[in-house]
Structure 1
């Protein structure tokens, strides 16, 4: 009987109180955007991910909230499209490979260029330092300094270290997103 009650309760939540939010995931190539999205949507981490050409989208269901995640390619030819896909979303997720120090200056420049767009004012930004499982990673504090996150204005900015491979801190990411679902 309890199982039937739960099914009816879940159906009522989805039907009458469900909310959907759009989130755009961006970052340089090989940062782990597609791997993160695969793990968040209930799949498994695979080491042989194919680089995203253009974009792909998956829905992540958490309780009565559906998070529609757009994963955009990080190669230089796709970066000019980022702003268009970030307009009007509930949150922007910028993913950085924290074990690849060579790309940090480029990531900083791309992030600040994007965040300077007036069309994106007010949209919350979540910066994720991915690959925290690797030995040559930088800390979250070093990432905040490297990307000069404290100078980004006109929005809430948060930063977490994660590992899509080890599923480290992913629940914190989902909880951060959920707080923006009903705003």
Structure 2
């Protein structure tokens, strides 16, 4: 997510390191000003994720398409997130990142592995992307903006 977020904010993405805690950026897209929380995925900080769910309008979940070994684990984490009361009905965008790598699986395969087709309680979209090139990133964000529920 860090590379995607920096790309959307038109920041340098040549020296990106994994998020250890969280980053907050404001991004302008369409007619929206989005305040985006980039929360690190390290196992030890996952219990703290729920501290950031209040007033969430869209959930953006990034999957490393080349790390097929972690697909089951990330699918379990996503399933738990979708059960959170504060995230009920919140639209879900899944970025299938790193599509440029030779061992990457397709967005359709990731959707299948995550069981996205079984999600019936919210709008969802999977978007292929190559964050370091910006490919697919804006398309995903456009979908997210169109699917934010007005409160």
Give the TM-score taking structure 2 as reference length.
0.91
Distance in 1 (CA, whole Å) between partners of 2:27 and 2:19 is 18
Q: 1:152–1:64: structure 2 CA closer, same or farther, 3 Å change rule?
A: closer
Contact map agreement 1:92 1:125 (CA 8 A) in 2: yes
Alignment of 1:40-59 (within 5 A): 40-46=8-14, 48-59=15-26
Contact map agreement 1:123 1:155 (CA 8 A) in 2: yes
How far off is 1:181 after superposition?
A: 4.9
Residue 155 of structure 1 pairs with residue 134 of structure 2: no
Please, which runs of 5 or more residues in structure 2 have no aligned partner? none
Compare 150-159 and 96-105 and name the one that shifted more.
150-159
Compare 141-150 and 165-174 and name the one that shifted more.
165-174
Q: Residue 87 of structure 2 aligns with which residue?
A: 120
How many pairs were matched up? 150
How far off is 1:118 after superposition?
A: 2.5
Contact map agreement 1:45 1:164 (CA 8 A) in 2: no
Distance in 2 (CA, whole Å) between partners of 1:172 and 1:125 is 14
Distance in 1 (CA, whole Å) between partners of 2:72 and 2:18 is 21
How far off is 1:61 after superposition?
A: 1.3
Q: 1:63–1:144: structure 2 CA closer, same or farther, 3 Å change rule?
A: closer
Distance in 1 (CA, whole Å) between partners of 2:144 and 2:122 is 14
Give the TM-score taking structure 1 as reference length.
0.76
Larger radius of gyration: 1
Residue 72 of structure 1 pairs with residue 26 of structure 2: no
Residues 67-99 of structure 1: per-residue CA shift (max 9 Å, x gap): 111000110111112233123211000000001
Residue 132 of structure 1 pairs with residue 94 of structure 2: no
Work out which of the residue numbers 11, 15, 36 in structure 1 matches 2:4.
Answer: 36
Contact map agreement 2:123 2:147 (CA 8 A) in 1: no
SS at match of 2:13: coil
Please, which runs of 5 or more residues in structure 1 have no aligned partner? 1-32
- How much is the aligned-residue C-alpha RMSD, in angstroms? 1.5
Contact map agreement 1:97 1:130 (CA 8 A) in 2: yes
Contact map agreement 2:65 2:96 (CA 8 A) in 1: yes
